[in-house]
A = this chain, B = another copy of it.
Amino acid sequence: MKRAGDPAAVGVDVQRSSEARLQQSWTANAGAWTEAVREGRIESRRLGTDRALLEAVMSRAPGRLLDVGCGEGWLARALAPHGFEVVGIDGSEELIASAQELGGGTFHVLGYEELTSRPDVVAGPFDSVVCNFSLLSESLTGLLRALADRLTPDGELIVQTVHPFAAAGDEPYRDGWREEAFEGFGDGFTASMPWFYRTMGSWVRELRAADLGLVDCLEPLHPQTTRPLSLVLIARLAHHD
């Protein structure tokens, strides 16, 4: 029985409503997001996070790549000239339509829960699976397992995310829901976005729970502040590294 004030029940409610608002925000902000990415309005991307991801991907031979939460598709367009065959998926119809307009890969409207529950959709194997600032949920184990299942035996999962150190701010260094207001990203962001902050240890444990082992961890730096701009986790199947 659920009691008022039961911390566990409150936690479940927070998670449920945050996950729902997280998904909705990508529909509400799809147009603004496409503009922000295409016009280079996001400073951290210009300063190094786009380049860090491209270098991580391109350090290996070209192959099949799954772009999870591909948004308006910039990564496929950047990689296509280098021989990568990119499949992009995103839950937002409008973002996938924007991606398809400019091409560079194959794009599908697909929610993460479908990827998790149906091994037949977007079937592997992929040489690389990329999640570029697109793992924002509290519960990741099912999705990470579904991604691990789609990797070649020596394939790599590449996750770029906010750096746990740089993003801690004045809040406790603990996992928890935070709110992104998209300040400085330009106009048209009508919805703020809940996202789940994770510590370094939490990332390592999430990967392990999906039988993935961390093989490298890149930390591109802000050229002026010399603080990390992001964290790039590179993982392989634990028994095939």
Contact = CB atoms under 8 A, between A and B. Distances in A.
B221 A241 contact: no
A219 interface: yes
A148 to B, nearest CB: 15
A164 interface: yes
Contacts of A231: 200
Given A168-B165, A213-B213, A219 B201 contact: yes
Contact of A201 (B201, B208, B216, B226): B216
Interface residues of A, number: 27
Contacts of A200: 165, 200, 217, 219, 231
Contacts of A173: 165, 219, 221, 226-228
A213 B214 contact: yes
A229 to B, nearest CB: 10
29 contacts: A164-B165, A165-B165, A165-B168, A165-B173, A168-B227, A172-B221, A172-B226, A173-B219, A173-B221, A173-B226, A173-B227, A174-B221, A199-B219, A200-B200, A200-B219, A200-B231, A201-B217, A204-B214, A204-B215, A204-B216, A205-B216, A205-B217, A208-B215, A213-B213, A213-B214, A213-B238, A214-B214, A238-B241, A239-B241
